[in-house]
Structure formats: structure tokens, C-alpha cells
Amino acid sequence: MGDLNIMYGSRHRPHMKKPMWIIVLVLFVCVFLICAYIYPPQSSSACYIFSSRGCKGFTDWLPPNTVREYTDEEIVARVVIRDILKSPPIVSKNPKVAFMFLSPGSLPFERLWDKFFQGHEGKFSVYVHASKTKPVHLSRYFLNRDIRSNEVVWGKTSMVDAERRLLTNALQDLDNQQFVLLSDSCVPLYNFDYIYNYLINTNISFVDCFKDPGPHGNGRYSERMLPEIDVKDFRKGAQWFSMKRQHAVIVMADHLYYSKFQAYCQPGLDGKNCIADEHYLPTFFHMVDPGGIANWSVTHVDWSERKWHPKSYGSQDVTYELLKDITSIDISVHVTSDEKREVQKEPCLWNGIQKPCYLFARKFTPETVDKLLHLFSNYSTP
């Protein structure tokens, strides 16, 4: 019986205390990890607390997506573009800037450009694409510089065709190292030496490029551009560029990507107003060489009126203060077209140094030429 009592008593031994500190610790760790996922650390030093490889998004931990198989045309295009970009650039003993004018006819500021070019012969070349009427030239620098031209319709790929036609002609001169696209309403903001050194002494192209999720950006994208062009790569920018020689060559070598814009980027197609000259080059360079472009244009345009066309400057607008205000801008600004109207700002970096963004400006009306000629010697000095 005694043994029995001992055995019976053993069944009623007191319960041990629950390890509460372990439960609390586990809960704390869980909360900490959830917070770290929702609010990931922003600094690299904080990232390295968790991993020697730094910050990683949740998607980075997932198995990699299957890379789609490229078409034969894409493989050819990628190989050609890669090899052109990796080839050493042509070294010229006399590097020149090609000034390419896109105009419907005569150039109203030819006298101003004549003054700009004087004394710098051998450092520039001029090309004129006149889409409507044969130009009457007043400057010797423009004589016999007209190229074969076709009709240009605003918003259609004929505008990009004209740009490519200018590039084709300018590339024939091996000394041309930078290629500047200008309109008939463009004027220089500095003297020749400043602009020449700005363009020649850098290894990037000044192609405007930004992501606009709004109706005037990604809203113009057509899924019929797939698989070669995805909406995530679709970009927008002003058409006015300055492009280094290697980039001019790959633009001329491209057929695949441009053919997509020819077919599926035009006003009114599928109820959208896709403007090819605002999307082709920004999208193309974002896809093939995003680090090789500045993401801003060296030509200033005022879109503050928020219309289809930029603000025009008349005689009453042209003052020394206006021109100095434009040349003082050293931050590139883009505004999205969606409801958020997000303002994207980036410093204009030239070889890593913040400098004025703009070398040229538009849109000036023809009657401003005399006033600009009078102001040129003052405002064009850096």
C-alpha cells in the first residue's frame, strides 16, 4: 500500500512553469522581421546587418523568372549594337560638331548662326533638311548644305525619318563626333567655343529620357510592340538631342526597334496619340545603353503653358534677363502627365560636375532675330 501511495502521488507532481521568455523572444523576432519586410532599411550599413550582400527586395529571394527566348531578329540587333558600342571610337585629329537643322524651309535665324560660326571654320559642319520649300540662304556656312528631304508630318514617324536622314548625311564625314539636332526656331545660348568644348569633351549623348506613367507617357504604349518592347521600358523625352558618333551609328543600324514604332506609334492608332519622335529614341537608348545618355536635352523648351506645343517667345519676351535665366538652369526637371503630376528633378552633370543644362533654346519667332543679334555678344559669354 505504501508503494501504491508513492506511485499515486507521483501522478500529482506540480506542473513546471511555462518558458514565457522563449515565447516573448519568438514573438519579438517575428514582429521585427515583419517590420523589416514592410519597411526595408534604406541605408547600406543597415542592410549589412542582415546580409553581407546588402539590401534585397522580397522578389530577389524568389526563384528567377524564366528569361524569354529572343527572336532571331533580336539576337542580330543585340549583337550588332553590342559590338558597335564596344568598338573603340574613331579618333579624329580635327573633331567637329555637326549642326543638323530640321526646318520646313528657310532658316529665320541664319544671320545669328552666321555670327555664331564666324572664326571657327573647320570645327563644325552644317546640314539642312527642308521638308516643304527650298531654303534661301543668307550665310556662306549654309550654302550647298541642303540634303535630300521628304515631307515631314508632325507626330508621325516621318519626323524620325528626317532625323535619321540628317544623321546619315552627317555620318559620312568621319570628323563629325557630335551630332546636334536643331529646329528652325532654335538659337544658341553661348559662344561657339563654349558649346564646342561642352559637347566634344564628354563621352555621353544628351538624349532626353524619363518614365511617365501618365496618359501622355505609358498611356501611349501599344502591347502590339511586344515582345521586343515591354511597357516597363517605354520612355518619353524631347526630340532635340546631341548625340556622340557611336550612338548615331547604332541609331542608323537599328531596324528592329524602329519598325515597332513605325507600325504601332502614330496619332490616332488604337485611340492613342503616340508621338514617335517623343518616344523612339528615349525608349531605344533606355533599352540598349541607359548609362550612355544624360537623360536631358541641351535644348531648352518651355512647356509651362501645358499645351500640345511649347511656349513661343516674341519680341516682347526677348530680354537679357530671359536668356540669363535660361542659362542659369542647372537642374533637369520632368513632370509626369498622370494625376500625381510628379516632379522629377536631377542635377545636370557634365563629367560629374554640375553645369548649366542648356546650350540652345527654342521656340523663338522670326521677328526676334534683330533683338537676338543685338544681345548675342553679351548673353553668349559664359
CB 337 within 8 Å of CB 211: no
Give the pLDDT confidence of 60-107 residue by residue, as tens digits.
444 555 577 888 999 999 999 999 999 998 889 999 999 999 999 999
Please give the average per-residue pLDDT across 56-61, as a whole number. 43
Share of the chain above pLDDT 90, in %: 73
Peptide bond into 104 cis (omega under 30): no
pLDDT exceeds 70 at position 41: no
Dmax over CA atoms of the chain, in Å, equals 130
CB 146 within 8 Å of CB 128: yes
Question: DSSP secondary-structure letter at 4?
Answer: H
CB 128 within 8 Å of CB 180: no
Give the pLDDT confidence of 136-167 residue by residue, as tens digits.
999 999 999 999 998 999 889 999 999 999 99
pLDDT band at 33 (very low <50, low <70, confident <90, very high): low
Residue 65's pLDDT is 56
pLDDT exceeds 50 at position 169: yes
Please give the average per-residue pLDDT across 228-254, as a whole number. 97
Residue 67's pLDDT is 73
The CATH architecture to which 72-298 belongs is Alpha-Beta Complex (3.90)
Give the pLDDT confidence of 16-31 residue by residue, as tens digits.
455 676 776 777 766 6
The model's pTM is 0.81
> CA-CA distances (angstroms) from residue 380 to 44, 48, 143, 171, 239?
44, 50, 25, 28, 24
Give the pLDDT confidence of 170-187 residue by residue, as tens digits.
999 999 999 999 999 999
Please give the average per-residue pLDDT across 23-42, as a whole number. 63
Which H or E run contains 187?
strand 187-188
Cβ burial of 202 (10 Å; 0-12, 13-18, 19+) is: middle
- What's the count of helices (H) and strands (E) in the chain, helices before strands? 13, 13
Residue 38's pLDDT is 55
Residue located via cell numbers 545669328: 112
Pairing of strands 96-103, 176-183: parallel
